Amino acid sequence: GIMGYGWMGHGWMGRRHSTNSNILSLKPKKSPLPIPKLLDPIIENGIKKFHLNIQESHHTFFENINTKTYGIESTYLGPTLLLRQGESVEIEYKNNLPEATTMHGHGMHVPAIMDGGVHQVINPNQCWSAKYTVNQPASTCWYHPHLMGKTAEQVYMGLAGMIIVEDEESKNLNIPQTYGVDDIPVVLQDKKFDSSGQIDYSPTRMEIKRGYKANTFLVNGAIEPYFNAKTGWLRLRVLNGANARVFTISFGLFKSFYQIATDNSFLEQPIKLNSLTLSPGERAEIVVYVDRDLVLQDRNTSKSLLYIFKDESIGLVDSLPTQLTNLERLNIHDAKRVRRFVLNMRRGHMAINSKIMNKNRIDERVPVNDVEIWEIINPMHMVHNFHIHATHFEIIERNGSARNVLPSERGFKDTIYMPPRSTAKVLVKMKDYVDEVHPYMYHCHILEHEDDGMMGQFTVVSNS
């Protein structure tokens, strides 16, 4: 039973009340870490097809309470899609919600009409398919709605899932890769519940500015769950799936771990860390050696996220490679131009370059295959970040110097954390998919900011 795994020894019983001090009457369900199922595709004419129902549902966050949620093939969140570089896929979403939605592949390098951004609306009872050839290296990506003005609420209700891209190289690396056993998805979120245990998404104007944050933390939709791990290396694919909260994950001051991947690629070598900060939308793959029970914590709040209990069996992977990959980096000297994105406000709303998102306006036209420097400026006293669709960029400078780029950021990225009053430069190259009509988006991934207008659009245009 549960006592055998040392709940008391971890102080778990004591912690759960402080975690949910706003809802003392609600008892979090003691649950094992939910592992989203790997969705079974069907193969038809060489195409790997997935079908996903987006639906209203009920989920058990608290003992004896049914909480109204949204889910994808599930009561909360969605299944994991496993894709392989080079294969043709068709991901069909059926919208069974009473409202419109979209489904965007965050981190996926796909044509603009397959991006699932604000223009690929799926009305109630309609289907929409993302059809493409997987055209990117191994990475941990995710899917979530992107409907204008409604992204924050729909993600908050439970719409998000993981996409794992694998390739020849990742399959051949001696790293943990048995899904659900030593390679686990870790979707971090925080959520506000009302006194009856229902999800409460009702940001005030001030909470839109600050980002909607709450003090109940979820991993894969469970409150402080536990995971039984074998002795040995455990790989966590960590996604900050929160609307606005920045997490700094850690196993405590004296336990180090290794980061092996950023948003869109492996790091060249594993980076030894004690803590790692992830802003909303960012991913990191980390490996930690389980030789005793561990607690994954958020260092910003000192709260527990996930309990890892060592079981007696021996793990599958016992040593790590020193070299993970060789990255084909862009050259700063090839940069053709600089584009500047200032995260600011306009008439009381969140904006970029003093413009509020307008889905009928193309803000930037980016010639295909040109290397560009995108300079991102956060002049405000608040946290932002910056996400670019379709591309995988390299961070080359923070606050005016290359030396401020952290070792753990030196892989390909699609989302960059922008602390208050900071600047960054990233190298960008739009590699394929010229389409002069249909745009992609860039935006702050604090979802309240995105919905409020801190978003813009670009097309990838031919280069002549």
Site residues (CB under 6 A) for ligand C2O? 104, 106, 144, 146, 281, 387, 389, 441, 443, 445
| Residue 443 site contact among ligand C2O, Cu ion, none (CB < 5 to 8 Å, cut-off depends on kind) | ligand C2O
Stretch that binds Cu ion, among 123-131, 251-259, 358-366, 388-396 (CB under 5 A): 388-396
Q: Which is nearer to ligand C2O, 159 or 219 (CB)?
A: 159
Q: How far is the CB of 142 from ligand C2O (least distance, A)?
A: 7
Verify binding: residue 244, Cu ion, rule CB under 5 A: no
Q: How many whole angstroms from its chain centre is CA 5?
A: 30
Residue written as token pair 């992107």: 146
Q: Which of 3, 42, 100, 14 is nearest to 304 (CA)?
A: 14
Q: How far is the CB of 458 from Cu ion (least distance, A)?
A: 13
| Residue 281 site contact among ligand C2O, Cu ion, none (CB < 5 to 8 Å, cut-off depends on kind) | ligand C2O
> Per-residue DSSP letters for 326-380?
------GGG--EEEEEEEEEETTEEEETTB---TT---EEEETT-EEEEEEEE-S
Q: How far is the CB of 42 from Cu ion (least distance, A)?
A: 27
Verify binding: residue 446, Cu ion, rule CB under 5 A: yes
Task: Round to whole Å and give the CA distance between 244 and 299.
Answer: 16
The encoded tokens of residue 349 equal: 């709303």
Q: Are 192 and 181 in contact (CB under 8 A)?
A: no
Q: Which is nearer to Cu ion, 251 or 386 (CB)?
A: 386
Verify binding: residue 392, Cu ion, rule CB under 5 A: no
The amino acid present at 354, given as its one-letter code, is S
Task: Round to whole Å and give the CA distance between 148 and 143.
Answer: 16
| Residue 446 site contact among ligand C2O, Cu ion, none (CB < 5 to 8 Å, cut-off depends on kind) | Cu ion
| Residue 146 site contact among ligand C2O, Cu ion, none (CB < 5 to 8 Å, cut-off depends on kind) | ligand C2O
**Edge-first strand listing for the sheet containing 364-367:** 364-367, 455-461, 435-443, 384-388, 415-418
Q: Which of 143, 97, 83 is nearest to 116 (CA)?
A: 143
Stretch that binds Cu ion, among 75-83, 100-108, 312-320, 329-337 (CB under 5 A): 100-108
| Residue 429 site contact among Cu ion, ligand C2O, none (CB < 5 to 8 Å, cut-off depends on kind) | none
Stretch that binds Cu ion, among 1-9, 101-109, 155-163, 367-375 (CB under 5 A): 101-109
**Edge-first strand listing for the sheet containing 422-429:** 349-352, 337-346, 371-378, 422-429, 394-398
Q: Measured at CB, which residue is nearest to ligand C2O? A: 106
Verify binding: residue 384, Cu ion, rule CB under 5 A: yes
Verify binding: residue 106, Cu ion, rule CB under 5 A: yes
Q: Which is nearer to Cu ion, 115 or 298 (CB)?
A: 115
Q: Which is nearer to Cu ion, 285 or 414 (CB)?
A: 414
Angle at 191 between CA 13 and CA 265, to 5 degrees: 100
Q: How far is the CB of 340 from ligand C2O (least distance, A)?
A: 20
Cβ neighbours, 10 Å, residue 177: 17
Q: How far is the CB of 142 from Cu ion (least distance, A)?
A: 9
| Residue 283 site contact among Cu ion, ligand C2O, none (CB < 5 to 8 Å, cut-off depends on kind) | none
Three-class DSSP labels, 384-420:
EEEEECCCCEEEEEECCEHHHCCHHHCCCECEEEECC
Please state whether 302 falls in left (phi above 0), alpha (psi between -120 and 50) or beta. Answer: left
Q: Which is nearer to ligand C2O, 221 or 281 (CB)?
A: 281
Do β-strands 88-95 and 47-59 pair in parallel, antiparallel, or remain unpaired?
parallel
Q: How far is the CB of 453 from ligand C2O (least distance, A)?
A: 14
Q: What residues pair up with 371 in beta bridges, in sequence order?
A: 429
The amino acid present at 113, given as its one-letter code, is I
Q: How far is the CB of 319 from ligand C2O (least distance, A)?
A: 35
Q: Which is nearer to ligand C2O, 109 or 146 (CB)?
A: 146
Cβ neighbours, 10 Å, residue 186: 25
Q: How far is the CB of 41 from ligand C2O (least distance, A)?
A: 23
Q: Which of 422, 375, 451 is nearest to 118 (CA)?
A: 451
* Element holding 65 (H helix, E strand): none
| Residue 449 site contact among ligand C2O, Cu ion, none (CB < 5 to 8 Å, cut-off depends on kind) | Cu ion
Q: Which is nearer to Cu ion, 297 or 385 (CB)?
A: 385
Verify binding: residue 413, Cu ion, rule CB under 5 A: no
Verify binding: residue 444, Cu ion, rule CB under 5 A: yes
Verify binding: residue 449, Cu ion, rule CB under 5 A: yes
| Residue 441 site contact among ligand C2O, Cu ion, none (CB < 5 to 8 Å, cut-off depends on kind) | ligand C2O
| Residue 444 site contact among Cu ion, ligand C2O, none (CB < 5 to 8 Å, cut-off depends on kind) | Cu ion
Verify binding: residue 443, Cu ion, rule CB under 5 A: no
Q: How far is the CB of 234 from Cu ion (least distance, A)?
A: 28
Q: Which of 195, 299, 178, 318 is nearest to 250 (CA)?
A: 299
Q: Which is nearer to ligand C2O, 10 or 445 (CB)?
A: 445
Q: Which is nearer to ligand C2O, 47 or 113 (CB)?
A: 113
Q: Which of 59, 61, 119, 128 is nearest to 96 (CA)?
A: 128
